[in-house]
Each structure stands twice: as C-alpha cells, then as structure tokens.
C-alpha cells in the first residue's frame, strides 16, 4: 500500500500540537490538575450534546455492526458519568513526570540523576468506543503529552462532540487546546504515520494485521495494542462453581472487549462434570458454543470447532471449547494461538497455578478470577490508553507510567573523563544519594 503525501493541513495541526506539548511538558502538577478538572467540568456541561451525537452515531451504525460492537459504540448517561469520574480520578493520581529514579554521586561534585519526562506527542488510533477518547486525553494531559486522536469511523460524531468539549474546557486553563486533536479518516491516519518530526509514539488499538501494517509503514516508534485472543483453562483441581462463574463473566459480561475470553480449555478429567454445567450457564447468557471432537462427545448439540476457531477473536457471544490432556497441553495451546493479552487458570492447586504463571507468555496471567480485570481502572491506574500486547514494556493496561520516558541529568563542576582514565585514573564513588 502506498502512503499518501503529507497534506500541509495535517502538518500544521501536528506542528501546533508539538508546540502545545512543549509547554505542557513543563507545567506544574497543579496546572495540569486544573486542566483535568476543567475537562471534567466541560464534559459535564456538554453532556446533552455528546449524548445526542452518540445517538446519531448509533442510528447510523445500527444496521452495519454486530450487536456487541454496537454496545461498545453506545455512550449512555452512566458510561459518560463513569468516564468523567475517571477523568477526576486521573487528576488525583501522582504526577508521573519529574520522578527521580536514580540519584547517584559519581564522584565528589559529580551528580547523576535519572528523571521521568513526557514522551512529547502521542498519535493514538482507536476503535469506535467514544469513552476511550476521554480516558486517553486525561492520561495524556496528566503525563504532559500532546495527543492526536483518530477514532473508529462509527464514533466520529461522538468523538467530535467530546473533543470539542475538552478543547472548550482547556481554553480556560494553562494547557493550550491545541494539545488535543482529533482525526476522523483513514487517509489522515496514513498521513499521521509520516509525521515522524512531530509525533513521538504511535499507539494503534486494532487487529494484529492493522498493528503490523502500522509498524511496517512508519518510522515513529509503535506501541501495539493488538487483539485479545484470551483463554480460560479449567484445571483438574478447579472448584467447579468458581470455574462456571469466571467463565460466564469472562465471556458474557462484555463480549466485544479485547479482554473477554474466546477459548475455554478444559482438563480431560474434569470435563464430563464441568462442561454440562458451564454450557447451561452460558446458554442462559446467550453464548453460542463450538467444540472440538472430545467436547462434542459430552455436548453433542453444539457446533464443531475447527483450527480457525482457535485463531479467532469473535468479539461476540461465541466461545470455542477444547479438552486438553493436561496443564502442559493447555499452555502449549495458549502460547501457540493466544495473542499474549490475558489468560487465566482456574485451579485450587497452587503449584499448578505457579507453573501457569511462569510458562504462559502473556501480559496478564491470572489465577481464579475473570480476564475482564485486565483494565487500567481496575488496576488502580485511573484509566488506560489501552492494553499493550507487546513483549517489551509497557505491557498490559497502559496508564500514566507507560506514557513517560526519562532523561539522565549530570551536574559537575568542570569534571572531565580524562581524569578517570590512564595510569593515575581516579576511582568513581558510585554512591546512591
């Protein structure tokens, strides 16, 4: 695919964001918190306009998208209120900027510090989930970063209303409204990827193939938030009641999100007892099941699963089931087909849980609880930019700490390296202060 030429208008927008971000980077915690409070207030005052815009988005999308995705697009009064409460929570969190991570005396009068600082300008491409824009902006401002948002096409009206309110709120504060921008088309996304002079980090929230496409088409560092092929493994030593409740919550509580499970792995020795119970509970929650050959022997009325199912993120009320021989078999399946997002084991055997923690290579490895806990708010980060599925940090829910980098500062008094080399080399002190 050819990347389109950068249009001057987007360069201008990005230049303004860069300028606003430079000022924001050195603002005091108090000034940033005032800006966050003003955003919350402005979103509250614009509630009617935002909700009406969302009704229009939902009406336009109604025919075209699956029910769970429609639910993700919908922004009712409660979701908006929670998102605004999340903004205020971010205001209360400690400032991630200016933290001294290393403070060391290298030699007398030669002092090293490592201090956290903002990344600069973030480019965040996300799906049709309007409240994500609110969470992302609050984290960006608190971490001292400018942000260029690109929302999913079905959520354009909602996100425009949200960003309008945010800019209005910021206009009363020390943070320039230029620090927050919204793009709405794929063409702009492709242009954004070329703006390596203005954008410091791209975060694509989308399918694996889209994240790979972004990585292959930009010189800007990319923090991939890819798909969630999450698993629950029900071990032979599982408490069956817990296993049923966890499976239902992890699949049906919010099927469209990336931390919902797609595949249930069941130890062969517990399958005959567990599967009929979980199938009943899932049917009550309108979940359709697909099973491998051994599962079909216990649940003969469900559809057959094939290889493709193990690789599929349904984002819907569908769950594939496979019976495995043992823990090793379950872990091999997860490491082969999973997306390194979040996986859970249900067992009362601590040693087995420890082995699962050690051997499953995902950003989230859970024991006896729902995968739906994989979330910045639930981890106490206030909100999240999304869930990083990369191997390198930040992994899992990305909050304030994932949006800063650091600088090394050294203060000396005419010190030179030559003094520390050669026959009469001085020794370093290397004493932490």
Among 129, 231, 290, 340, indicate the residue that binds ligand VHF (CB under 6 A).
Answer: 129
Radius of gyration of the chain (CA): 25
Determine if 186 is a binding residue for ligand NDP (CB under 6 A): yes
- Using the contact rule CB under 6 A, the part of the chain among 90-98, 141-149, 231-239, 252-260 near ligand VHF is 252-260
Residues touching ligand VHF: how many (CB under 6 A)? 13
Binding mask 42-81 for ligand VHF (x = CB under 6 A): ------------------------------x---------
Residue 375: contacted member of ligand VHF, ligand NDP, none (CB under 5 to 8 Å, by partner type)? ligand VHF
Q: Closer CB to ligand VHF, residue 82 or residue 348?
A: 82
Q: Hunting for tokens 């002079």 — which residue is that?
A: 197
How far is the C-alpha of 403 from the C-alpha of 401, rounded, in Å?
5
Phi, psi torsion values for 413, nearest 5 degrees: -145, 60
Q: Closer CB to ligand VHF, residue 191 or residue 384?
A: 384
Determine if 127 is a binding residue for ligand VHF (CB under 6 A): yes
Determine if 251 is a binding residue for ligand NDP (CB under 6 A): no
Determine if 387 is a binding residue for ligand VHF (CB under 6 A): yes
- Using the contact rule CB under 6 A, the part of the chain among 32-40, 45-53, 251-259, 265-273 near ligand VHF is 251-259
How far is the C-alpha of 270 from the C-alpha of 185, rounded, in Å?
50
CB of 159 to ligand NDP, least distance (A): 10
Q: Closer CB to ligand VHF, residue 165 or residue 258?
A: 258
Preceding peptide of 394 cis, ω within 30°: yes
Q: Closer CB to ligand VHF, residue 340 or residue 372?
A: 372
Residues whose CB is less than 8 angstroms from the CB of residue 212 and which lie 6 or more positions away in sequence, other chains included: none
Spatial contact of 149 and 162, defined as CB atoms under 8 Å apart:
no
Binding mask 303-342 for ligand NDP (x = CB under 6 A): ----------x-----------------------------
Spatial contact of 135 and 86, defined as CB atoms under 8 Å apart:
yes
Q: Closer CB to ligand NDP, residue 23 or residue 153?
A: 153
Residue count of the chain:
433
Among 18, 167, 194, 225, indicate the residue that binds ligand NDP (CB under 6 A).
Answer: 225
Instruction: Quickly count: other Cβ atoms within 10 Å of residue 9's Cβ.
Output: 10
Determine if 389 is a binding residue for ligand NDP (CB under 6 A): yes
Residue 313: contacted member of ligand NDP, ligand VHF, none (CB under 5 to 8 Å, by partner type)? ligand NDP
Binding mask 137-156 for ligand NDP (x = CB under 6 A): -------------xxxx---
Determine if 402 is a binding residue for ligand VHF (CB under 6 A): no
Q: Closer CB to ligand VHF, residue 309 or residue 384?
A: 384
Residue 153: contacted member of ligand NDP, ligand VHF, none (CB under 5 to 8 Å, by partner type)? ligand NDP
Q: Closer CB to ligand NDP, residue 157 or residue 267?
A: 157
Among 57, 95, 127, 316, indicate the residue that binds ligand NDP (CB under 6 A).
Answer: 127
Residue 395: contacted member of ligand NDP, ligand VHF, none (CB under 5 to 8 Å, by partner type)? none
Contact residues for ligand NDP, defined by CB under 6 A? 125-127, 150-153, 186, 189, 205-207, 210, 213, 225-228, 258, 313, 386-387, 389
């Amino acid at each position: 695919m050819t990347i389109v030429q950068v249009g001057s208008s987007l360069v201008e927008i990005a230049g303004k964001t860069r300028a606003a971000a430079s000022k924001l980077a050195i603002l005091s915690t108090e000034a940033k918190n005032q800006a966050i409070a003003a955003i919350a207030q402005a979103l509250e005052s614009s509630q009617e306009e935002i909700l009406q815009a969302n009704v229009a988005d939902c009406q336009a999308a109604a025919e075209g998208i699956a029910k769970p995705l429609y639910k993700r697009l919908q922004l009712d009064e409660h979701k908006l209120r929670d998102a605004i409460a999340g903004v205020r929570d971010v205001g209360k969190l400690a400032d991630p900027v200016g933290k001294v991570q290393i403070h060391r005396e290298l030699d007398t009068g030669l002092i090293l510090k490592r201090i956290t600082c903002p990344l600069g300008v973030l480019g965040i491409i996300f799906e049709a989930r309007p409240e994500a824009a609110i969470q992302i902006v609050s984290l960006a401002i608190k971490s001292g970063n400018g942000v260029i948002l690109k929302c999913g096409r079905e959520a354009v009206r909602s996100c425009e209303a949200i960003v309008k309110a945010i800019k209005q709120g910021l206009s009363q504060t020390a943070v320039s409204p230029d620090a927050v921008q919204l793009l709405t088309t794929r063409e702009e996304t492709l242009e954004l990827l070329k703006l390596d002079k203005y954008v410091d980090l791209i975060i694509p929230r989308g399918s694996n193939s889209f994240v790979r496409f972004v990585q292959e088409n930009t010189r800007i560092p990319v923090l991939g938030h890819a798909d969630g092929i999450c698993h629950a493994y029900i071990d032979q030593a599982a408490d069956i009641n817990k296993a049923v409740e966890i499976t239902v919550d992890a699949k049906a509580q919010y099927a469209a999100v990336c931390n919902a499970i797609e595949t249930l792995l069941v130890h062969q020795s517990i399958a005959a007892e567990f599967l009929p119970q979980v199938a009943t509970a899932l049917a009550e929650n309108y979940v359709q099941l697909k099973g491998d050959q051994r599962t079909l022997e216990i649940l003969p009325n469900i559809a057959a699963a094939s290889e493709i199912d193990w690789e599929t993120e349904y984002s819907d009320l569908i769950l594939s089931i496979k019976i495995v021989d043992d823990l090793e078999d379950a872990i091999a399946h997860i490491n082969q087909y999973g997306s390194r997002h979040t996986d859970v084991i249900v067992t009362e055997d601590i040693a087995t849980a420890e082995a699962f923690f050690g051997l499953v290579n995902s950003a989230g490895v859970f024991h006896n609880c729902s995968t739906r806990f994989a979330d910045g708010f639930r981890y106490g980060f206030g909100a999240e930019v999304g869930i990083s599925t990369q191997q390198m940090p930040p992994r899992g829910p990305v909050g304030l700490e994932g949006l800063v980098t650091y600088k090394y500062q050294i203060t000396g008094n005419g010190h030179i390296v030559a003094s520390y080399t050669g026959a009469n080399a001085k020794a370093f002190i290397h004493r932490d202060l």
